[in-house]
Amino acid sequence: MGSIRFLPRRLVIAVIVVLSLGWCGVANAHPHGWIDLGVRVILDDQGRVEALHQRWLMDPFYSLVVLEELGRAEGDASMEARLDQLGMEIRDNVAAQHYFTELTHDGHTVALGEVKEYTVMQRGSRVEFSFVLPLETPLALEGKAMQYQVFDPSYYIEIVHEAEDDETPREDALVVVGADIACTTRIEPADPDPAKVTEAAMLDYDDQAEPGLGRFFAETGEVSCHG
């Protein structure tokens, strides 16, 4: 199989394509792309949280660029094999950023494990990356809420839960599966300070955002279980 190189995490190729088409206005401010997020909180047979199964649905333009680049890649590998290679490279790239995920319980940070299960597929005209992010140790919620945020620290990519419209997350954007216990979920929208909004709007496509800027624009998923 020929070498298949993944587009850089910052969507450099997508930005170059945008600029080459003369759509300079698209690349004047962060973010430059987005991901529709879905999360399944996986419980073990004792009702403890053991993993977050995440699906990242790439935006249509980025998906188009990725699929075209993979189709033009050298070698005789099938598209399925090329998508598999892409999945590995995405996994390796985001591993250094803790898979863009921060998890807390009762005010304390929860340690995450290493992603070993992942896949990339074409979903209609879009590319979807899905993976199982295990906790380092299964977590008993004990009636206290667990919260997570998924975000690109640089805010180059905006990550929001998949929604039916511009406002309302889909019912399956955050679900709990596994043990048969009573759980409630909710997704809190981001509420960034206007100064952060202005800061993001002033960043050009090749500017380096302050570390952690994406956190201010991240939605918060919350899960509480009893039983």
For residue 176, tell me if it sits in a domain.
yes
Has residue 39 got a pLDDT over 60?
A: yes
Has residue 63 got a pLDDT over 70?
A: yes
For residue 162, tell me if it sits in a domain.
yes
Peptide linkage before 31 cis (omega within 30 of 0): yes
pLDDT band of 62, cuts 50, 70, 90 = confident
**What is the rounded average pLDDT for all residues in the chain?**
84
| pLDDT, position 207 | 63
Q: What is the SS3 assignment for 100?
A: helix
| pLDDT, position 24 | 36
| pLDDT, position 116 | 97
| pLDDT, position 2 | 39
For residue 7, tell me if it sits in a domain.
no
For residue 214, tell me if it sits in a domain.
yes
Q: Where are the alpha helices (DSSP H) in 75-167?
A: 79-95
Contact 34, 17 (CB under 8 A): no
Q: What is the pLDDT averaged over residues 190-202?
A: 83
For residue 86, tell me if it sits in a domain.
yes
- Residue recorded with tokens 């929208």: 189
pLDDT in tens, 6-33: 443 333 334 333 333 333 334 445 677 8
Nearest CA among 122, 162, 127, 136 for reference residue 7: 127
pLDDT in tens, 68-83: 888 888 888 888 899 9
| pLDDT, position 197 | 82
For residue 140, tell me if it sits in a domain.
yes
Q: What is the pLDDT averaged over residues 149-157?
A: 91
Instruction: Return the higher-pLDDT residue of 24 and 181.
Output: 181
For residue 104, tell me if it sits in a domain.
yes
pLDDT in tens, 128-139: 999 999 999 999
Q: Which tokens in the block code for residue 20?
A: 């080459």
For residue 4, tell me if it sits in a domain.
no
Our CA dihedral for 161, 215, 44, 93, rounded to 10 degrees, sits at 90
Q: What is the number of structural domains in the chain?
A: 1
Q: What is the SS3 assignment for 88?
A: helix
Has residue 224 got a pLDDT over 70?
A: yes
pLDDT in tens, 105-127: 999 999 999 999 999 999 999 99
| Global pTM exceeds 0.95 | no
Note down the domain range covering 83.
12-226
